Amino acid sequence: MKKENEITFIFDSCSENEGLARTVLAAFIARLDPTLGELSDVKTAVSEAVTNAVIHGYEGKEGKITIHSRIEGNTVSIEVSDQGVGIPDITKAMEPLYTSKPEMERSGMGFAFMEAFMDDLEVVSTEGEGTTVKMRKTIYSALNLS
Amino acid sequence: MERFSLERNGSTLILHISEELDHHMAMQVSRTVDTQIEKGNLKTLIFDFTGMTFMDSSGIGMVMGRYRKMNFLGGQTFVSGIGDGVDRIFTMSGLYRIIPKYEERIQGA
């Protein structure tokens, strides 16, 4: 089996596309034969990152979201980028239960879930330019097979 | 296709939902449930997640938002039919400290 594989896709920022994004990623990592738990971890993390871009990055307005994902060996890395408003204080945004939009019933758990479900999480953001969420996870069921 | 359904039994409203619950879905479900809550005479709201395969943090916001409305009106809120995936999300968020599982409710409380 090919040890490396890469995908990049760009889609409109809207809530309908949240499901599309995580379904594409789920299909992309299927070759690593993840457990249901691992698959759910990745889907949840992608869903959180895309939802953040839709709600916070573009604040419900039009924009494009780019997902770039790469499989190397047993590890999948995923980057979710927007060219939205950016995050003024990343440390605060990543605090569990903190949300800048309580009126929209956001739980403030998005980054906490990304952090918990993936092995690595890095957030790069510039105000007025956008945000990129970089995540990485090793799929251990694939490790056992190799 | 039925994505979610409501069952009204006297003063009890049960929401059955097995569709993947993300931000997009949560907005639709919240609107539908709120319409029922606003009609009044509701004492108990039960979220039945039997068969649910996916939920992200938007599900927590949806349940908590409805809980606040029910609590304000003096009603109770429960969650039910929790599978492993949903359980992990609820446990990590601390939701059970506020909203009990219907199966584990204290009778008459």
Which class is domain A4-145? alpha beta
CB A35 within 8 A of CB A76: no
Distance CA(A6)–CA(A71), nearest Å, equals 6
């299909």: which residue's tokens?
Answer: A27
Q: What is the pLDDT of residues A107-133, one digit of tens each?
A: 999 999 999 999 999 999 999 999 999
Give catalytic residue positions of A. Answer: 48, 52, 106
Residues of A with Cβ-Cβ distance to B92 under 8 angstroms: 109, 112-113, 116
Fold of B4-104: Transcription Regulator spoIIAA (3.30.750)
What was the ipTM of the complex prediction?
0.90
Q: What is the DSSP letter of A102?
A: G
């330019």: which residue's tokens?
Answer: A129
Cβ <8 Å between B54 and A44: yes
In this predicted structure, the answer to whether residue B1 has a pLDDT above a threshold of 80 is no
- Mutation for A interface: B3, B23, B66, most A CBs within 10 A: B23
E strand or H helix that includes residue B67: helix B57-72
**B56: nearest CB among A16, A44, A55:** A44
Model-wide pTM > 0.90: yes
Q: What is the pLDDT of residues A53-62, one digit of tens each?
A: 999 999 999 9
Domains of chain B by residue range: 4-104
E strand or H helix that includes residue B6: strand B4-9
Residues of B with Cβ-Cβ distance to A111 under 8 angstroms: none
Concatenated DSSP letters for B24-57? HHHHHHHHHHHHHHHH----EEEEE-TT---B-H
